[in-house]
Structure 1
Amino acid sequence: MIGLAHLVVMFGFLVVGIALLLVVLWPTARSGPRLLRNWGVAQATQEQGRLARLYLLERRVLYVVFLVLAVPLDLLTSLYSGRAYFSYVGWLLFALLAAEAIAVLRPVRGQVRVATLARRRVGDVLPRWMMAAHLVMVVAAAAVMTVVGVEGNLPDAWVAVAEVVASAAAVYAAAWCAVARPARSDAELDRALRLRSARVPIGLGTMFAATVLGAALSILGDWQHSADLGVIALFVQGIGLVLWGVMVSVSAFWMGFRGQVPAGNG
């Protein structure tokens, strides 16, 4: 039985954690221009930097909300099932993906929008190799976790499968919204933020699927007492990390997920 004192201490840690997250993630005046520079805008104007900072602020507040929610979710699943079907890293990635998807789905207010004759497609912001790599990882994760659910008769494995499928839906919903929403009056700013809005979710979604796939392989390895499956699980998660890095650049996490802007994307 958890006493009142324990609840007060836990609440205190939660408040401190939220405060620290906000301090670390809160974008500064230089965050906007830095984000734009990383996404192809070499010399951002003051107004472009301001709008990019607001773009970051909206997402990072959502990061904090979903990261805080991820903690009790991880604890509840661990207590209910006796083990986590993917590590806290998985919850972290899922929280960030959910925040990005919700942010891009929300309409942007207070900015001038313009019509454009050029029809944009998801392929304009997501190269085919990115979509192929992501979908392969999603299908593999769902398939192996399905085997875990069938062989072990574990209902929680089906929850993990549903989460992988939901994450894939969120990735492409975010990409579709990134290309479907009306263009900003500033074409350079519009292009940079549109690319980032599509690339960050697919990078997070790929790493999340790799985390689930690695967890499923690890579970099968435990059941079969196979060290090889454990090694493969680590290798898969390493591949996911590399793909994430290539798609959105992990080194620029605090700057808004730097990415490479291909010259052909308009």
Structure 2
Amino acid sequence: MTELKTDSIDEIGSSLLFGDISLFDDSKTTERGENVRVRNNAGELTIKFYTNNAIGLYRGIPPRKNSDGVVVSRGQLGLTKFDDFLTKVYQAVRLDDPYADQLIYNLHLASNQLADTIRSCEKIVADAIAQKLTSGAGAKITKDDKAPSFNVYLKTEFGRVVFWQIREIDTLVLENLFCRQHAIIPRDASVKMNGILSSTLWNMYHSVFLWKHTGVTRKDILENNQIAKRAKEANAGIVLEPFILDCSKRSSLSPRISERPEDIEVDKENEEVSQLASAE
């Protein structure tokens, strides 16, 4: 994971002034001597999900077996395991693997498309409620007080972005189930909506397995050597775009490339992808 850097107190010094009040205290602490620093603690994040859909999208769904122990229903990947595997992809990006970089870019676009789908579904629900609940009618959506609470520990930037999308899906599905129960939205349409939201995210999860570790770098691709040929065969499901190869465009959720051959110059600054989905 890319290390988050904060401004050093030592580097800033105590020269900034607000009126006659110094923003920094030059006095030495009696407990820690001259090294006046604090440890940046990210804290803890907990979440309650109120629908089984969101719980399954977050932690996955185990396979279902019959009384004889035979699997009758396949399980589904969840965000936590997806994020675990994605850490390997992130490390490969840092080591200049263009296929890993392309995968993050593709995932970012898929996430943008999921966001558009969520907005469309939200509008359908809101319009249906506004049409049915006219004057004299009211609604109150209740949440289960015993809903499970989860401690959120995600390792990648992309995983954390998807987490908040699952949070949105949880709220949307809860409203959708309310509408189904009270015939505000037809049952078939309601079931289809929830299915689209879940399948879109699960397809995104499973696309991470298109990437295979080969140790390839951009230099190998340019030389078209044996490593590059093996990498192309192993990653047949990932098509390398020219802008990924020359690093002229990358996902803002990709980590910085920390190691690459010195004879290849590259702009390591990521370009935002958040607006690309609508442009392409």
Scaled to the shorter chain, the TM-score interval is 0.3 to 0.5
Higher gyration radius (CA): 2
Name whichever structure is richer in strand by fraction.
Answer: 2
Normalized per residue, the structure richer in helix is 1
Q: Which has the higher contact order (CA 8 A, sep 6+)?
A: 2
TM-score by length of 2: 0.31
